A and B are shown apart, each in its own frame.
Chain A
Amino acid sequence: MSTQNTLMIYVAAFLAVFGQATLPGLRDWVGAQVDLLPALMVYTAMYASLVNVGLLAVLGGMWFDCLSANPLGISILPLFLTGWLIFTQRELILRDLPFAQIVLGAAASAVVPLGTVLMLLSAGKGLLLDWGSLWQWMVMVAGGAAATPVVFAVFNWFDRVFGYQVRTETSFRADREIRRSRL
């Protein structure tokens, strides 16, 4: 993955967290805000290095926590564990298939909030949880699943447009050409 694409991931993570805090999004319609960080983590884990997966987890998690009432750093581990698991299995995943992207996005969007809530509960924090939270979780899963193919499409397009393409070598060699006469 190109350097500018890697940088774009961090910019997108920053803007995603900011957008989640400032824009109403789905919150007014369905009562839950969709988290875009898991979708970005899926893309990063599929294309970038493990260092970038770690950096996105640390930076994205800290940005999220600083705008939230979460203790600083609580979102890092669930994000990284999700990315780490995908990264270690990425050779087995058909990453260009939209179905695979949707499934990965849904799984990541399900695991990250669940992990964060579990960590908050184990830290003894009182959270706003009831049966309605199940609905919010489902909205987050569906939102993450829908967002992941979009993230893949946008970043792949960005990579194609702004990145250097690998030049494929032709097998044709002029000095080995067999020249035939008409007869």
Chain B
Amino acid sequence: MFKQKHFLALGAVTLAALLLLSLPPRVTARLKLALGSLFLPFSSLAATAEQLPADVADNVLPRRELLQELARLQRENQELKVRALQEATMGLENEQLRYQLRWQRQVAWKIKLANVVMRDPANWWRTVEIDLGSQQGVTNNLPVLTPEGLVGRIAAVWPTHSQVVLIGDPNCRVSALIDNPAHDVGVVNAAGALDNTLADLTYLSGTAVLKPGEDVVTSGLGGIFPKGIPIGRIVDSRQVEFGLYTEARVKLAANLGTLEQVWVLFR
């Protein structure tokens, strides 16, 4: 049953695996890039196949429905234009006041749209891959968000695609601020393996009084995420370590289970 060649094969593969694991990070990244590029043609093929039913549906959509949708979008566009005008005036006023008070001017966000092309095949990570890479100016640790709220940060970059580590993964911790009178600050940490709509807010002060429904936003501490990006809302809270800390569960604003398009925020 067990022959010498069996043990030789076992030794050879073990050696190969250990050799791969002990490679320097730069070599590993290049190897991952080379292997990942094998999947790229299939990835675009899958995207085209996914788009096909939508294109077919577009062709058979009744004209009346399209006109109604157009009218609704035109109304929304007008509304947004008026709001943008108002915001521009407020922005100007804000800039003037900041200048008078010698405050630092807030830099406008530069964002780029990216498509989510893959999800992590392993169940013990919460990452996705997007179709923006270093060729588009993406670098490590750039924040990634949707219009609803924060999604995560860039964890690895290749020329044509990048890996985003999502909130709730142990490798994505976010300093968060609660929108309450005390402005409590905590850290959004890893959540449960099954539910990707919730995250844990830890290291809150023991005296923090939190109410369900309070907004949680990024605090701007830590230097990765700018201040004020919505993260979610408080669901419930509890005292831990004999009242030394408070922990809370946060219902995430962005739906991480159905991510299709995300925005990468450039500094």
Contact = CB atoms under 8 A, between A and B. Distances in A.
A69 interface: yes
Interface in B191-246: 191-195
A158 interface: no
B6 A50 contact: yes
Contacts of A14: 38
Contact of B125 (A69, A72, A84, A130): A69
Interface string A103-133: 0000000000100110010010011111011
A135 B195 CA distance: 12
B247 interface: no
B124 interface: yes
A76 B129 contact: no
A72 B31 contact: yes
A51 B21 CA distance: 21
A22 B197 CA distance: 20
Contact of A132 (B2, B5, B195): B195
Interface in A58-81: 58, 61-74, 76-77, 80-81
B27 to A, nearest CB: 9
A58 B155 contact: no
Given A72-B28, A72-B32, A73-B21, A67 B13 contact: no
B193 A136 contact: yes
Interface string B10-38: 10111011011101000010011001101
B123 A126 contact: no
Interface string A26-69: 01100111010000000000000011011001100111111111
Given A33-B123, A88-B6, A54 B193 contact: no
Contacts of A71: 21, 28
A21 B119 contact: yes
A22 B46 contact: yes
A54 B14 CA distance: 10
Chain A contact residues, majority secondary structure: helix
Given A22-B117, A62-B35, A128-B170, A68 B193 contact: no
Nearest to A37: B121
B121 A133 contact: no
A133 B192 CA distance: 8
A18 interface: yes
Interface of B: 1-2, 5-6, 9-10, 12-14, 16-17, 19-21, 23, 28, 31-32, 35-36, 38-39, 42-43, 46, 117-127, 129, 155, 163, 165, 168-171, 190-195, 257
Given A69-B155, A77-B13, 18 more contacts: A17-B121, A18-B43, A21-B120, A32-B123, A35-B121, A51-B9, A66-B35, A68-B122, A69-B125, A69-B169, A76-B16, A76-B17, A80-B10, A80-B13, A84-B13, A113-B123, A117-B124, A132-B192
